[in-house]
A and B are shown apart, each in its own frame.
Chain A
C-alpha cells in the first residue's frame, strides 16, 4: 500500500535502496497519522480535490503540471507531489534553512513560499545540482571538507552555498558567514561548512 503512495519517480524494484527504504518509512508515518486522525506534524494533509487549482512548476529544468491546494507550500509540493525530498522540513517557519531552494537562482525558504507563488519561476533543488550521476561541485566540496555530521541541514546548506557563489563567485570568510547565515547546523559543523564553500569557490567553473 505504501509503495503506491510513493513518488512518481519509481526506483529500481530489485532490492531496496536506502533512499526507497526512507521513503517508505516517511509515507508509512504519514498514513499512520491520517488513520489515527491525530494532528499532522507537518503539511501532510490529504488533498480536498474540490479545492485543487492547476499549476505548472518548473523544477530542475523540468516542467511539471500539477494540481495544488492554495495553502500548500512549495516545500510540501516538492517533497510530497514531486518526490524531491532533498529540501527538508525543519522549523517550517523560516529560521533553520533546511528547506532552502533556489528560485530564479536566489536562495529562498520553500517552507515560507506558497507553491502558487512559484508559478512562472525556475526552481532548483539540491537534486538539480547533480551532474548526471555525479555530485555537483558544491556537493563534492562538502564531501571533501567533511562539512556535515548528521546531514539533515546539508541540502539547504549546499543550496545556500550555490546561491552565494552564483552571486559572489569568490567570497571572503566574512562574506561566506554572512551568505550562509540563514542556515542552521545543529551539529555545529560551521567551520567545515565555511571551508567547503571556499573549496567550492576554487573548483567551481
Chain B
C-alpha cells in the first residue's frame, strides 16, 4: 500500500518547478515507475507534484531547423505510433514500441522513461545497498544475472530505459527547467556514472525536470534501429540491446553511434565500435569485427557472462540489417 502523501497538480511550469524545489517533493509524470517506488518505499516523499496539468509538455512538433521537439510528457505509445518518428527516427520508434506493455506505453512518458529508477532486485528489495546510501553492493557477490558487464563500479545496475540509448544514438538533447530558467544539454551527458555518484542516475537536481527532448534534423543518408533481447517475448526489460545510428556517405559509413542497453549503468556508448565503423563499407568482415569490438572491454560478474555473447550477436545482427541495399 502507498504510504500517505500530499498531492498537487500545478498548471504552469513555473509553479511546478517552484513546488518541486521544496524538500520532500517528487515529480509524477506517467506514474508507472513512481507508484511502484512509492509502494516499495524506494522513495519516501511527503508530496507528489503531478505534471499532468502541464499541457505544453505534451506532443510532437517540427522545429524551425527541421528537427523534432517531443514534449517530455508525450507517452511512449504516441512516440511509437508517430509517423515522422517511424520514418526518420526509426530507432526511437522501435525503442518506444519495445518498451513495457501496451497499458504502460499508454501511460508512461518519454521524459519519465529517461528518469526511471533501476530495476536491480537488491535496490528494489529490502537491501540497504550503496545506491540507497549503504555500504554494500549486494549484486557483486549475490545473484547478478541481470546486472551490468560494463561500467560497474560501486554499483552494478543496468539502466532500464530502451528509449534512452535510441535517443543517444540519434544525438538527442534534453531541455531541463528549474526555477531560474531552462538549459539544453546533450542527452549523452544526462546520465550519471556510478563511479562519480552512486546515489543518482541522472544530473537532475531537486526542483528540476525535463521539459522536452530535441532531435536534430535528420540527414538524408541516416539509418537507425533499436533491437533488444529479453527473457520473455511478450514484454520485459532488455537483457541486452543496441541502438544504432549510422550516417552514410554512399555505401560507406560516415559516422556511427552505437549505444548499448541492458548491460551498463548508463546508456553505453561503444566508442571503439563507432570508430571501427567510420569510413567503412559494411561488409561481413567489418561487421564481425565491429561486433567483437563492442564487447572487448566487458567485465562480467559471476552469472552474467552470457550477456557478452548476446550483445555481440545483437550488434552483429543489427548492423547487418542496416546495410544499404
Contact = CB atoms under 8 A, between A and B. Distances in A.
A85 to B, nearest CB: 18
Contacts of B7: 53, 70, 114, 116
A204 to B, nearest CB: 18
B4 interface: yes
B36 interface: yes
Given A92-B39, A107-B106, A182-B101, A70 B234 contact: no
A148 interface: no
A166 B235 CA distance: 22
B50 A117 contact: yes
B77 interface: yes
A198 to B, nearest CB: 17
Given A53-B7, A93-B39, A70 B48 contact: yes
A177 B101 CA distance: 11
A45 B5 CA distance: 14
B102 interface: yes
B4 A51 contact: yes
B31 A163 contact: no
B107 interface: yes
Nearest to B9: A116
A88 interface: no
Chain A contact residues, majority secondary structure:
mixed
A106 B235 contact: no
A117 B102 contact: no
B209 to A, nearest CB: 17
B20 to A, nearest CB: 16
A71 B5 contact: yes
B31 A113 contact: yes
B101 A97 contact: yes
B231 interface: no
Interface in B5-40: 5-7, 9, 28, 31-32, 35-36, 38-39
Interface string A41-58: 011010010010100000
A82 interface: no
A182 B101 CA distance: 5
B1 A182 contact: no
Interface string A76-109: 0000000000000000111001001001001111
A179 B234 CA distance: 10
A116 B50 contact: yes
B104 A182 contact: yes
Given A94-B36, A116-B9, A181-B235, A45 B103 contact: no
Contact of B1 (A40, A53, A94, A114): A40
A25 to B, nearest CB: 21
A130 interface: no
A94 B32 contact: yes
Contact of A106 (B5, B9, B77, B101): B77
A160 B102 contact: yes
A48 B6 CA distance: 13
Contacts of B28: 114, 117
Contacts of A178: 102
A73 interface: yes
Contacts of A114: 7, 28, 31, 35, 48, 50
A124 B1 CA distance: 24
A69 interface: yes
Nearest to B36: A93
B52 interface: yes
B2 interface: yes
B4 A69 contact: yes
Contacts of B2: 43, 71, 73
Contacts of B35: 73, 94, 111-114
A182 B4 contact: no
A164 interface: yes
A97 B107 CA distance: 13
Contacts of A40: 1
Interface of A: 40, 42-43, 45, 48, 51, 53, 69-71, 73, 92-94, 97, 100, 103, 106-109, 111-114, 116-117, 119, 160, 163-164, 177-182
Given A70-B48, A94-B103, A106-B106, 9 more contacts: A42-B1, A97-B101, A107-B102, A111-B35, A114-B31, A116-B9, A116-B50, A117-B31, A181-B234
Pick the 4 closest A-B CB pairs, nearest first: A182-B101, A70-B7, A181-B234, A71-B2
